[in-house]
Amino acid sequence: MKKTIVAVAIAAVLPWSAASRADTDIDALRAEFDQKFKVLQADYAARLKALENRLETAEIKADHAQQEAAANTGPAPAAANAFNPELSLILQGAYLDRAGGERPITGFIPAGGHADEGRGFTLNETELVLASNIDPYSRGLLILAVADEEVEVEEAWFQTLRLGQGFTVKGGRFLSGIGYQNEKHPHFWDFADNNLMYSALFGGGLKQDGLQLRWLAPTELFLELGAEVAKGQFFPGSDGGADKNGAAAWAAFAHVGGDVGVSHAWRAGASYLRASPREREAFLDDRNDFEALTNFSGASKTWLADFVWKWSPNGNPRQRNFIFAAEYFDREEDGDLLCEDGTAAGGACTGLLDRYASAQSGGYAQAVYQFMPRWRIGTRYDRLNSGSVDLGANQAFFDVTDFDPSRWSLMTDYSPSEFSRFRLQFARDKSFQDDPDNQIILQYILSIGPHAAHKF
């Protein structure tokens, strides 16, 4: 409306001006008028647009409100359902071609766990994961590993969300924060089996029943410190040691990390674990090739160092990426070992209780390269150093070995989607003295449920 009035007014004024001024003036005026008119027009268009947008925003708000209202008026069971935890299921299985029988890592006290998975077609543990925020202050998670006739609680913990100042507390049963591989569940491993280091140290991953405190520093560089106190019933601890008030295991770790440019990211860490096993049972092959039952009581101290380097072009791992990881450990155990009297059954031990001290080390290095979408190849080298083992008077019943277990593994995996992976792995396993083995594993890992957000 205003526009027309202005236009009419200007049009009315124009003839007089034309009479008194030269044609050039008129042209200039016209140009000026046109320009102003255009500015005015643009201004109005913009305002109109803004109004339209605001109107639509209001509509969207109303829309959201309506949807929320609709959700609220839904049938009661559905509304209760909405609070169901995130539920996911990991299906894992494999075909293994390898030597049969028990093949403990020579020179190391067997840590138990899942070292012996049989051969042929095998169904690995099926994992059931339930997780949810409990309230605004904490989150809970349960992971059950289901196998024949057993259900194992892999993890069951709560974690604080709002302590602030960089602090997080986790309580319950959780995978210890020591090392790098330890917190990874089998479905997220880069190889079909665990590395020898973790098999020797913990028989898999170290679970802790206890409390964990983590603190993240408010710095540009990633710096995380953590400490754990735990019951300590899992190897290298034992049920005997855990049967007490207080904690029979504690751990501390520090991680640093950052980026180098946009394409590289790294993390390095150092960890320490102390456990106090009492009467920790283990079977050791004695001089007569008899499985002697031993009992260890004492202190177990482990140092771990870990390093991870990841690369992807421009930091976009979707097409190609590369991961290098290496870890090293040094474990010292000091205490007394009882080798039970096995003479009646043909064993060598006579039931002596004497000093036991060991200092052992080892590690692994692995590299995995995704060379095109869906496809990855990887290689891993494991090596353990059986170090020095002092059995005191019991030394007479055991053969001394300076065998260093080692293994080369090669794998390739194919992932049709984020939720499925098929893997072929070859390994030259020299972890069992005098009987090297060539192993072939064909494995599948499938996950059902929400996106898993995996740690670095």
Partner 1 sequence: MKSLIAFILAASVLAAPAARAALDVLACEPEWMALTQELAGDLAEVSAATTALQDPHRIQARPSLLAKARRADLLVCTGAELESGWLPLLHREAGNGNIQPGRPGYFEAARFVRLIDRPAALDRAMGDIHAAGNPHLHLDPRNIARVADGLTKRLGELDPANAARYAERNADFQSRWSAAIARWEQQATGLRGVPVVAHHKNLGYLADWLGLQVVGELEPKPGMEPTASHLAELLETLRATPARMVLRAAYESPKASEWLASRANIPAVELPYTVGGSAGAGDLFGLFDDTLNRLKPAAP
Contacts to partner 1 by CB under 8 A: 42, 45-47, 49-50, 53, 56-57, 60, 63-64, 136, 139, 159, 161-168, 214-224, 255-259, 262, 265-267, 310, 314-319, 373-374, 416-419, 448, 450-456
**What DSSP string runs through 88-122?**
EEEEEEEEEE---S--PPTTS----TT----SEEE
Residues 139 and 161 sit within 8 Å (Cβ to Cβ): yes
How far apart, in whole angstroms, are the C-alpha atoms of residue 157 and residue 175? 10
Token pair of 41, please? Answer: 């027009």
Instruction: Specify the DSSP class assigned to residue 261.
Output: T
Nearest residue (CB) to partner 1, 121 versus 456: 456
How far apart, in whole angstroms, are the C-alpha atoms of residue 103 and residue 402? 17
Least separation, in Å, of the C-beta of 251 and partner 1?
18
Nearest residue (CB) to partner 1, 346 versus 416: 416
How far apart, in whole angstroms, are the C-alpha atoms of residue 352 and residue 368? 48
Nearest residue (CB) to partner 1, 396 versus 452: 452
How far apart, in whole angstroms, are the C-alpha atoms of residue 398 and residue 106? 13
Least separation, in Å, of the C-beta of 189 and partner 1?
16
Nearest residue (CB) to partner 1, 283 versus 419: 419
Least separation, in Å, of the C-beta of 60 and partner 1?
5
How far apart, in whole angstroms, are the C-alpha atoms of residue 420 and residue 32? 68
Nearest residue (CB) to partner 1, 148 versus 220: 220
Residues 347 and 292 sit within 8 Å (Cβ to Cβ): yes
**Amino acid letter for position 312:** S
Instruction: Specify the DSSP class assigned to residue 24.
Output: H
Burial of 23 (0-12, 13-18, 19+ CB in 10 A): exposed
Nearest residue (CB) to partner 1, 161 versus 270: 161
Least separation, in Å, of the C-beta of 301 and partner 1?
27
Least separation, in Å, of the C-beta of 152 and partner 1?
24
Nearest residue (CB) to partner 1, 293 versus 452: 452
Nearest residue (CB) to partner 1, 123 versus 256: 256
Least separation, in Å, of the C-beta of 166 and partner 1?
4
Least separation, in Å, of the C-beta of 204 and partner 1?
23
The count of residues in the chain is: 456
CA distances for 452 relative to 152, 180, 336, 370, 435, angstroms: 21, 18, 45, 20, 40
Report how far Cα 247 is from the mean position of its chain's Cα atoms.
25
**Amino acid letter for position 430:** K
Nearest residue (CB) to partner 1, 57 versus 401: 57
Q: Which residues of 361-380 are buried (b: 16+ CB within 10 A; e: fewer)?
A: bbbbbbbbebeeeeebebeb
How far apart, in whole angstroms, are the C-alpha atoms of residue 94 and residue 407? 20
Least separation, in Å, of the C-beta of 212 and partner 1?
12
Least separation, in Å, of the C-beta of 201 and partner 1?
24
Nearest residue (CB) to partner 1, 2 versus 318: 318
The partner residues of 335 in beta bridges, in order of sequence, read: 298, 356
CA distances for 147 relative to 123, 124, 406, angstroms: 8, 7, 29
Least separation, in Å, of the C-beta of 57 and partner 1?
5
Residues 206 and 183 sit within 8 Å (Cβ to Cβ): no
Least separation, in Å, of the C-beta of 229 and partner 1?
19
Nearest residue (CB) to partner 1, 4 versus 165: 165
Least separation, in Å, of the C-beta of 72 and partner 1?
17
Residues 299 and 276 sit within 8 Å (Cβ to Cβ): yes
List the Cα angle 103/106/109 in 5-degree steps.
95
Nearest residue (CB) to partner 1, 300 versus 370: 370
